[in-house]
Amino acid sequence: MRIGTIEVTSRLWIGTGGLSSLATLRDVIDAADPGLVTVSMRRSSDLGPSGLIALLRERHVDVLPNTAGCLSAREAVRTAQLGREALGTSLVKLEVIGDERSLLPDVVGLVSAATELVADGFTVLPYTTADPVVARRLVDAGCAAVMPLGSPIGSGLGITDPSAIERVRAAVDVPVVLDAGIGTASDAALAMELGCDAVLAATAITRAEQPVAMAKALRLAVMAGHRARAAGRIPRLTEARPSSPMAGRAAL
């Protein structure tokens, strides 16, 4: 799919937080074959670039700097600008956190930060609630995609309200990327079946017992869910429906 100026092929995107080593991250990237890889902007102790940047360049992955931890629109806008300077990309995963405990977005601050960053030439991908009205406001503000949460960041609760994701999908015509809450493969498949264009998984991979194996599992799950939606699932029936013919049964 197209995100701003770049073509993103893989529908599994990954976050990189929580892994013990860059070596494991390399293996995770190779297993996940991610469409985009998120990073956060933090202080450099030696005032130089991190080893992470070298690794991402080595693996030729497109990087998506986020504004994780920003508690105001102003802070998020400046962090986005620093990300652009350091990484040479106009992409930004915009987070304006409204509550440090639940890490849920502040959608009012989010809309204003998105408006400001779009005007500044950014390709904005906002982390938002599964609210179709807010999603439409973000698209009207010029966002290139919307990233609704399935459940709180790192909770692994999956998609607590699937109908909300379906409403977001129906409300906008930009890519919808399920962000936050994915716990395992079935959650990722469900996200795609609900109409998402991609899934971002961070904790689900990085804190799994075996991150590389989970990366592979999620990659398969995203493909499975995407194909299943295209295949047109059967309707849900409250009654049973025989899968073997009733006719031609023998009298025994």
Partner 1 sequence: MKILVNGDPREVPTPCSLGELVPHRSGVAAALNGNVIRGMDWDHTALSDGDAVEVLTAFQGG
| 239 touches partner 1 (CB under 8 A) | no
- 69 contacts 93 by C-beta, under 8 angstroms: no
- Edge-to-edge strand ranges of the sheet holding 198-201: 12-15, 198-201, 177-179
Instruction: Pick the closer one to partner 1 by CB: 202 or 222.
Output: 202
Q: What is the dihedral of CA 78, 97, 115, 5, to 10 degrees?
A: 80
Footprint of a second copy on 207-236 (CB under 8 A): 207-211, 213-214, 216-218, 220-221, 223-225, 227-228, 230-236
Among residues 83, 150, 173, which one has the least CA distance to residue 123? Answer: 83
Separation between Cα atoms, residue 98 and residue 110, nearest integer Å? 9
Q: What is the DSSP code (8-state) at residue 97?
A: B
The active-site residue out of 93, 216, 219, 226 is 93
**216 part of the active site:** no
| 235 touches partner 1 (CB under 8 A) | no
Q: Segment near partner 1 (CB under 8 A), from 111-119, 144-152, 229-237, 242-250?
A: 242-250
Footprint of partner 1 on 172-211 (CB under 8 A): 180, 202-203
Which of partner 1, a second copy, none lies near 49, with the C-beta cut-off 5 to 8 A by kind? partner 1
Among residues 165, 163, 160, which one has the least CA distance to residue 178? Answer: 165
Binding-residue total with a second copy (CB under 8 A): 98
Name the 3-class secondary structure at 231. helix
Q: Which residues are the active-site residues? A: 93
Point out which residues bind partner 1 (CB under 8 A): 15-19, 25, 38-45, 47-50, 52-53, 56, 63, 65-66, 68, 78, 81-87, 153-154, 180, 202-203, 242-245, 248, 250-252
